[in-house]
Amino acid sequence: MTLSSERHAALRQNPRLLKGILRGIEKEGLRVDNQGVLATTPHPVALGSALTNPRITTDYSESLLELITGTHDSVAGLLEELEDTHRFVARQLRDELIWNQSMPAHLPEEADIPIAWYGSSNTGMLKHVYRRGLAERYGKTMQCIAGVHYNFSLPDEIWEHFGVDGSSIEDRRSKGYLALIRNFTRYSWLLMYLFGASPAVSRKFLRDAKHSLLSLDDDTLYLPYATSLRMSDFGYQNKAQSELQLCYNDIETFLNRMYNAVTKPWPAYEAIGTHRNGEWIQLNTHILQIENEYYSTIRPKRTTGRCERPATALAARGVQYIEVRCLDIDPESPIGISAQTSHFMDAFLLFCASEDSPFFPETGMCRNSRNNFSTVVKEGRKPGLQLVKADATESDQAIGLVQWGNELLERILPYAQMLDAAHGGGQHYAQAVQAQAPKLQDSEQTPSARLLRALRDERISLHDYTLRQSQRHRDALRAVALSQSKQQALADLAGQSLQEQVRLEQSDTESFDAYVARYHAALKRP
């Protein structure tokens, strides 16, 4: 019996394990005005403090909202909370709306894009200065790209049933999640083909940069077979870390390489320095200022306390969950992701956790996986496209995207069926997997192709099309009122967060310089 079949049997015999899966979402979206131009207004007070509101915050830019759910044991509960938060925000924004596309709206001049502000507390200033550093390193324009992050965890007991070796539950859990990440790295190109929805971008986004994109109209640039320009080299990339390869074979190697990245100076960043005119402009001159700067499609995660470093928390307590970072905003959904996509993600990630996951060598499979991903985001719908199968025994074997995609759907379907059985016998998961097959048979049914076809058929720019969709989504969200209890709960959370920010600001007794030094010192060598 193979490892995957043994794990199949364990899941079928213990369906309660699958009910213990938790998922959460962090959904980004730019605030824009009614002409679709980036809003340069401060984060609305009615949404609370971006520093301390656990449900509504900002990401890199002051204009980039991030709506965060709690963890849920069902897709229905997850998306209900996300929709409730969207309804609350839609009503509070008044003369603004959320841009429902991963690639940005029309942006002002670089200098006028506001960096996120979190108040004057040391915690808030650390977040702000980190973002100043990102602006110095990559420019503010790249900070306006948005996406959907999907958080996923399995119950601890599952690792014992999967036969994962380890001296403690923390050890077994970390090994299990790293195996999931290795398989995700092998197969995540499929997600970009099936759900990528950013094949085009406004010409104003690239400003005067050189590019190889084609013109669809005076305002829209695109690649004919692209699925997700957001995840291509046109999107947010870190040049300094282009050769940085974090290893997912074991937690020790991963943490050692991360430690080196956040402690090793980079000449170009040394030339910038940490201060200008007496003000902090980046936290340090290292390859990464902090661990979160590492750009990746998936991350091993662990909740942290105030002033605790992510790498130190991972070293001390192991991986707690994984965060998938490659999903584009679904422009057809008012909340940026559909129930079908969420059901598919659960089945896909369970598949990645359960199937055999050989270690990556120093070269070979990991390189092939990166190349497959890069190929699919830029030309995934190209007829006859060939990928390189990143397999332990066939690492250099060419295979058609359609053939491999169909093989993967067949392998994922049994996990979907087990999830359906565990959640009461419906067919939401199986239908979500089966709904992807037509996209492989006809690439014109993918979200990226549908978007380009709509632009051509209506002879409309990406900007005008997305503005119209975003307005329709806003109106639909506003049309259904929240219950009084939910409205009050979100308003109370916003008010409490403002009070908590004030408390933090009044309780700080050390200088920001000392706080930064203490934060850096909190990083422990693995």
pLDDT averaged per 10 residues in sequence order, the chain, 526 residues: 80 92 98 97 98 97 98 98 98 96 95 97 97 94 94 96 92 96 97 98 89 95 97 70 77 92 94 97 97 93 88 94 98 98 98 94 72 96 92 71 98 97 93 98 98 98 98 97 97 98 96 96 90
What is residue 502's three-state secondary structure?
Answer: helix
Does residue 365 lie within any of the structural domains? no
* Residue 374 covered by a domain: no
In three-state secondary structure terms, 140 is coil
Q: How far is CA 121 from CA 53, 125, 183, 227, in A?
A: 15, 6, 41, 41
> Tokens for 110?
């670089």
Q: Maximum Cα–Cα distance for the chain, whole Å?
A: 67
pLDDT of residue 394: 45
**25 lies in some domain:** yes
Report the C-alpha gap between 301 and 313 in whole angstroms: 9
Q: How far apart are CA 447 and CA 194, in angstroms?
A: 7
Instruction: Write down the pLDDT at residue 289.
Output: 96
Whether residue 420 lies inside any domain: the answer is yes
* C-alpha distances out from residue 364 to 251, 385, 399, Å: 20, 20, 16
Range of the domain at 154: 3-357+386-521
CATH code: domain of residue 295? 3.30.590.20
- Is 371 within the bounds of a domain? no
Cα–Cα distance measured from residue 156 to residue 318, given in angstroms and rounded to the nearest whole number? 12
Domains identified in the chain, total number: 1
What kind and span of H or E run contains 57? Answer: strand 56-58
User: CA-CA distance, 379 to 226, in Å (whole number)?
Assistant: 5
**Nearest CA to 448 among 194, 149, 106, 147?**
194
Residue 379 lies in a domain: no
Predicted confidence at residue 171, as pLDDT, reads 95
What's the Cα-to-Cα distance from 434 to each of 17, 327, 354, 413, 427, rounded to whole Å? Answer: 24, 19, 20, 8, 10
Kindly report whether the global pTM for this prediction surpasses the value 0.85. Answer: yes
Closest to 85 measured CA to CA, from 115, 57, 55: 55
18 is a domain residue? yes
Structure tokens at 69: 């759910």
Count the Cβ atoms, other than its own, within 10 Å of residue 44.
18
Q: Residue 220 contacts by C-beta under 8 Å, 6 or more apart in sequence?
A: 200, 201, 202, 203, 455, 461, 462, 463
- Residue 65's pLDDT is what? 98
Q: Which amino acid is at 448?
A: S
User: How many C-beta atoms surround the C-beta of residue 264 within 10 A?
Assistant: 13
Of 242, 252, 332, which is closest to residue 288 (Cα–Cα)? Answer: 242
Q: Quick check: is 152 in a domain?
A: yes
Q: What is the reported pLDDT for 364?
A: 47
